[in-house]
Each structure stands twice: as C-alpha cells, then as structure tokens.
Amino acid sequence: MAVPKRKVSKQRRDKRRSQVWKLDAPALSRCSNCGELTAPHKVCKNCGFYKGVQVIKVEE
C-alpha cells in the first residue's frame, strides 16, 4: 500500500485547499440596441435584440 513518507503540514494542506472558493465573475457585455448589461452571445432580455436584429418580441 502507498503510505505518505511525511506528514503534510497544516499550512501546506490549507494552501492546497484555499483555491476552491475563488470563482470568476460572470462576463457581461452591453446590448448594442438598448445598452443593458447581458451575457455575451445571448439575446437581450430587455429588448429582444441580438447583433442588431430583433429576435424575440418583448412586451413592455
């Protein structure tokens, strides 16, 4: 059986585990039609436009 040769210190163990909580913020871009922040490559939920073309009809 594989057995660790030396004890892993608390500092080394915690350094390894600390990377888990770091998450990236979601990427956002401005809608070319209304200026609302939206996810890139998605239809704008505010106005229904994608790349300058109305894709869905949005009731206001």
**Residue carrying the six token digits 């594989």:** 2
Range of the domain at 42: 28-60
Q: Is residue 15 part of a domain?
A: no
Q: Is residue 56 part of a domain?
A: yes
CA atoms within 13 A on the CB side of 45: 5
Residue 10 has what pLDDT? 95
Inform me whether the pLDDT recorded for 59 exceeds 90: no
**Nearest-CA neighbor of 36 among 49, 46, 48?**
46
Q: Is residue 1 part of a domain?
A: no
Q: Is residue 19 part of a domain?
A: no
Inform me whether the pLDDT recorded for 60 exceeds 80: no
Inform me whether the pLDDT recorded for 53 exceeds 80: yes
Quick check: pTM over 0.75? no
Specify the number of domains making up the chain.
1
Q: Is residue 36 part of a domain?
A: yes
- How far does CA 19 lie from the centroid of its chain? 16
For 6-28, write each residue's pLDDT tens digit.
999 999 999 888 877 778 888 99
